Structure formats: structure tokens, C-alpha cells
Amino acid sequence: MTSIGKEMHKFIEEKNWEGTADALASHAKLWMRIKRIGDPTFVPNERLVRDYVAKGILSKPERKGKEAIFGFEQLVQFLACRAMIEDGWPLSKISEDFQVSSIWEILKLIPGEAAPNDAMTLIENFKSEMVGEDLELNMNEKSSFSANTWPSKDADASDFLKRRRESYETKSDIKDVLYRLGSDFGNVIREDFTAYQLASWLVLLIDRDKARGITRHEAEDIGRGITAALLNRNSLSKADRSSYMKQMKELSLLDDEIRTREYDLKRIHAERDKLNMDIEHSKKTLSELEERLRKAEK
């Protein structure tokens, strides 16, 4: 990857970013692709940004004249929110979590930003760059930018944070554990069965919901199916099943590789779009400078 590509993956470089709600939605879309958060076709918009502010997920933007200006803090909150949504968290719980979380706690929820040293470096850079009494006052007012500040010590909120982290770590581990066990599933499948023990050596398991409403005709078909299975001489052997499962696993890995390459391609396109935006911005700046020079020469 080029040096430009690497720089784009340094989230710390966004610490001075600011823009309108529409600009935040557009910038968040780029970083969602880079960080591989959610469906690449998902397009955030201004309405969603304002909805997140209303729900308390995003902190309120600063007012500059008639404009509401968002910054790095809201960018972090937006990306972390989308990552938590992918993990199955409802917006109400995300809002509750963010109300009692510091900016570095929220930052760690973004894929690739979990290293404590990186988070602390980011916070220290914030502090070192904010000079002057007005900025120091602003820093104190924004408690979310303090790495050690917790706006609330409510026990329930702390318990929720603990459950969130434990759940996040557990979900991350499940796939690796199943892979080591040779499973072809990406997650644990929970099924509820009703067991009919017909003899000490014979147990019939039927889905619980299906067992409740089973008809006489379906029960007879189950009996015929069991008879056919027991007498079937052409049923798959253990070796056949192993071969079949191996093929299924290889296909699954191939699908994963295809999806990864498709995502990488979309990420490259996103990086190209960002680079084009930077080029256009540089052209505009250069044009303005040239115009100033022409006026100065006159």
C-alpha cells in the first residue's frame, strides 16, 4: 500500500477534523469502509446524524454563527455506534453507554483503535495542541475528552460497560474457537428440542415448536422416514460426510476470501475518492493563492 494509503488508516490524523452534519455523514461513510464497519453499501446521511444527536448518541455540535459544526468527538461516537449496532446493541443501550463513557473508551470500540497506548497518545495530542485559557476552559467543560473522567459513577452504568466489554470479547472469541474445533459455523446455534425416550437405547429429538403442533400425518411420515433411514444401504458413510464437510468448509473459506477482496476493492475506491477530494481541495487552495498573487501584482 502507498504511503498515502497508510496515512489514511491513521485515525489520529482526524483529530482536527470538523464539518457540518452532512460532512460528518460523508466522512463517516469513508471511515466505515476503511474500518470495515457494517454493509459497505450503507450510506449515512444528515438526517441520521441529527437523529443520533437527538438520541444522545452524538454529543451536541458547536454553534459557529448559524452553522452547527461537528468534530472528531462526534466522528468517533458515530463510528463506534455503527460498530456496536453490528454487534447487536440497540440504540437505547448505546446512548446509555456513551453518556457514561470517556472519549478514549468510545474510541476503543472502533475496529483497530483498541490499543490503550494509541488511545492515550491521541488524548495527549489533544491536550498538547489545545493552548490558551479559552481552549483550556473548553477542554475542562468537555469532560468526554478526559481519559480519566467518568461523568457518572452509577453502578448500573458501570455494570453495563462491563457487560458490553465482556460480550464484545466473547463474540470476538467464538469464531476463533469454533474454527479450532473444525466447525463450519460462524457462531453457536442454539436449538430447543423435545426428547422422546422410546427405549434406553433410543431417543427421538424433535424441535420443540414443531413437536407442539405436530399432526398425525406428520408423525406417521417421521416414522416412515426413520424406517427408510435405518434400512438405507446407500446412506453416506462417515468418510463421505467428512469429505462433504471438507468441501463445504473450503467453499465457505472461498466465499470469505471473495467477500474480503470485494471489501478491499471498495475500500481502495473509497481511498481513491478521498485522494481525489484532497486533490480538488489542493487545486482550489492553489487557485485562491494564484488569484491573491494576481491582485497583489496589480
Residue-wise pLDDT tens digits, 205-223: 998 888 888 899 888 888 8
Q: What is the side-by-side order of every strand in the sheet holding 67-71?
A: 18-19, 67-71, 62-64
Q: CB under 8 Å to 152, separation ≥6 — which residues?
A: 99, 100
Asked if the model's pLDDT at residue 19 lies above 90, the reply is yes
Q: How confident is the model at residue 45 (pLDDT cuts 50, 70, 90)?
A: very high
Give the model's confidence band at 270: pLDDT under 50 very low, under 70 low, under 90 confident, else very high: confident
Q: What pTM did the predictor assign?
A: 0.44
Quote the pLDDT of residue 255: 81
Burial of 3 (0-12, 13-18, 19+ CB in 10 A): exposed
